[in-house]
Structure 1
Amino acid sequence: AVHKRGGKPLTPTRKQMRWVGQVNYQDGEGWVELHWWPALLPHLTGIRKNFTSYQLHQASALRSVYSWRLLELLMRFEDTGWLEMSIEDFAQSMDATEKQQADFAAIRRKIIEPAIKELMNKDGWDVQWRPIKKGRKVTALRFEFKRADQMALEI
């Protein structure tokens, strides 16, 4: 719906919403209870239509939060087999620290390389990546990926 004031369309308002309204942590139990933010509830009914899903058991061996976040990014583009995004968007998606965001070498060393190694070794992905530069500065990243036909056996 387009909202108008005096016949002129209003500029869109920015809306922010929390996912979780309350979390109950069960100390020593290994589980939590989540209560969804009330305004989010109407959106949850169509969640399977709007979000990529993947088998949890596929990624159960992943230990790094960066591996999980990279997997989620890659799964959004599973149909194409490639993902290209600005370094700023990537850093934000990975929830990189300000110090890491200011230093591409830190992003590469602490986030990209360990996450890709874990996805390849523990979850059977073939991932190639490269930085995209303007001059000497890295401005974007390109990932090309697919599920490996067969996972390597550890000997």
Structure 2
Amino acid sequence: MTDLVVKSNKLVQALQTLTLAETRVIQLAIVDARETGKGLCSSEPLELNAARFAQAFNVSNDAAYLTLIEAEESLFKRQFTIINDDDTLTKSRWIQDANYRKGEGRILVTLTRIVIEHVTRIDGFEQYFTSYHLKQTSNFSSVYAVRLYELLMQWKSVGKTPMYELKKFREQLGIGVNEYPRMEPFKRRVLHVAIEQINESSDILVEYKQHKKGRSISGFSFSFKKKKDTSVKAVKTNSPSYFFSKMTDPQRHLFANKLAELPEMGNYSQGTESYAQFAVRIAEMLKDAQKFEELFPYLQKVGFQSA
């Protein structure tokens, strides 16, 4: 699976209140439902198990098990509100049913009709959808970081957002009316924490700008850029690993036959096998990166580098 979370822009912008645990369950449900087709109708509920959850979010199986229990008890009650183009509101639950299998470490869920419409109708309408890989948010410990990252990803093609009006922005992050009513704790415990986690654990670097009406902050806008990719090191074009990635199957069999006739390869032969049998076994060895590197000097000797 590619673990691609896909939501319509309207669902990304929805007003919602989810805990981090509930958000993770919804993320995983969207990923797996789109990949398997299950959970998109009541006749085929989606199974989420503790092992899958633990792998996706880098937590222990016990922590994943407890999260699924929590989700079964609370997620069914959660609602969200979508603001339509005509400014009317559509309210919906996230899931229409949940069935926790006690002692089995798994939960069966079915997404609601509204959610299904906003995570599957993408072909030909890509500009109206936001997508990101689950791993980019899997190490966040703040639900506000997840929500902010999703809001940013809606604008990933331009790297900056319009101004989010403060009241609506708070609702999009899932902050209750009585939570962090003053700006100082809001910035310190919500905004700064979210930005710090995004900058540390995701694929982007983000900074914000605050906007004022008079002396009061009226909203925030964000700019962000992709981090330089340090996960993939450049491969030297004369290294064994470079040639391993370039070798085709016909080349592998061709050079396996040449290697089988090299006297220096005698140490690799077994018993009384024929040259043809030896060549077949060498071809299998060349599928292994470590063995390929070991045999690379012999490959060069029979002309592979100039092939």
Measured against the shorter chain, the TM-score band is 0.7 to 0.9
1:88–1:101 Cα contact (<8 Å) kept: no
Relative to structure 1, the CA distance from residue 46 to residue 100 in structure 2 (aligned partners, 3 Å threshold; closer, same or farther) is: same
Relative to structure 1, the CA distance from residue 107 to residue 27 in structure 2 (aligned partners, 3 Å threshold; closer, same or farther) is: farther
The correspondence of residues 5-16 of structure 1 with structure 2, limited to 5 A, is 14-16=89-91
Inter-partner Cα distance in structure 2 for 1:94 and 1:41: 18
Match of 1:80 in 2: 158
Relative to structure 1, the CA distance from residue 13 to residue 125 in structure 2 (aligned partners, 3 Å threshold; closer, same or farther) is: closer
Match of 1:46 in 2: 121
TM value normalised by structure 2: 0.41
Relative to structure 1, the CA distance from residue 13 to residue 110 in structure 2 (aligned partners, 3 Å threshold; closer, same or farther) is: closer
> Which residue of 177, 187, 206 maps to 1:98?
177
Deviation at 1:122, TM superposition (A): 1.2
Secondary structure, aligned partner of 1:23 = strand
Match of 1:145 in 2: 224
Indicate the RMSD between aligned Cα atoms, in angstroms: 2.8
Higher strand share: 1
Question: Residue type matched to 2:175 in 1?
Answer: A
Inter-partner Cα distance in structure 2 for 1:62 and 1:12: 32
Deviation at 1:64, TM superposition (A): 1.4
2:136–2:201 Cα contact (<8 Å) kept: no
Inter-partner Cα distance in structure 2 for 1:55 and 1:126: 16
Deviation at 1:31, TM superposition (A): 4.5
Relative to structure 1, the CA distance from residue 92 to residue 27 in structure 2 (aligned partners, 3 Å threshold; closer, same or farther) is: farther
Match of 1:7 in 2: none
Inter-partner Cα distance in structure 2 for 1:14 and 1:41: 15
Match of 2:215 in 1: 136
Bigger relative contact order (CA 8 A; separation at least 6)? 1
Deviation at 1:116, TM superposition (A): 0.4
Q: Structure 1 vs Structure 2: percent identity of aligned residues?
A: 28
Relative to structure 1, the CA distance from residue 124 to residue 41 in structure 2 (aligned partners, 3 Å threshold; closer, same or farther) is: closer
Structure 2 runs not aligned, ≥5 long: 1-85, 231-307
**Over residues 52-95 of structure 1, what are the superposed CA-to-partner deviations in whole Å (9 max), with x where a residue is unaligned?**
11111222222211111011000011112111210111101111
Deviation at 1:17, TM superposition (A): 2.8
Structure 1 runs not aligned, ≥5 long: 1-10
Match of 2:56 in 1: none
Matched, 1:127 2:206: yes
2:148–2:173 Cα contact (<8 Å) kept: yes
Number of residues of Structure 1 aligned to a counterpart in Structure 2? 141
